[in-house]
Amino acid sequence: MSAIRFLVFATIGTFLSWATWTIVIFRIDPISGGLIARTLFMTSLWLALVGTGTVLGFLGRYLFLRQALVYRHLGVASRQATIVATTIIFGLILQSARSLTIVTGGLVIVIATAIEVFILAGQSRMRPELSDTIHVR
């Protein structure tokens, strides 16, 4: 699958995810819907955030970095979009449980950052030519 085809499908999927999230917001009552309503809300928001982050992250990298390895941009953009979207969803889950404080929010951000750093460190050890961001010796 070419990068353009992936972006077209990802953009269509992202628009559908945002449409689903909008329908969930305006059509489902969170009080009477219970766990199902919250799950639909969080899942559709997560999919929409991952799609948006992937498309915008890829386009930003493609326009500003201008490297030949286009698929490398797709992998990095989708990984970082997934981490950021998951961090946001965990923050919303903590907030809905009335457990979001500066400490718990900071801990979620630190864990997300640590995951990204571990992934980058692993990439630089396995394939040094692909990791120009962090160098671990």
Per-residue pLDDT tens digits for 41-75: 999 999 999 999 999 998 888 888 776 667 777 88
* pLDDT for 71: 73
The C-alpha atoms of residue 84 and residue 53 are separated, in whole angstroms, by: 8
First-to-last alpha carbon distance for the chain, in angstroms, is: 35
pLDDT tens-digit profile of 83-126? Answer: 999 999 999 999 989 999 999 999 999 999 999 999 888 877 76
Q: pLDDT (tens digit, 9 = 90+) per residue, 27-44?
A: 988 778 888 999 999 999
- Written as one letter, the residue type at 108 is V
Q: What is the CA radius of gyration of the chain?
A: 17
Write the Ramachandran bin of 69: left for phi over 0, alpha for psi from -120 to 50, otherwise beta: beta
Name the pTM for this structure: 0.83
pLDDT for position 94: 94
Task: Write down the pLDDT at residue 4.
Answer: 81
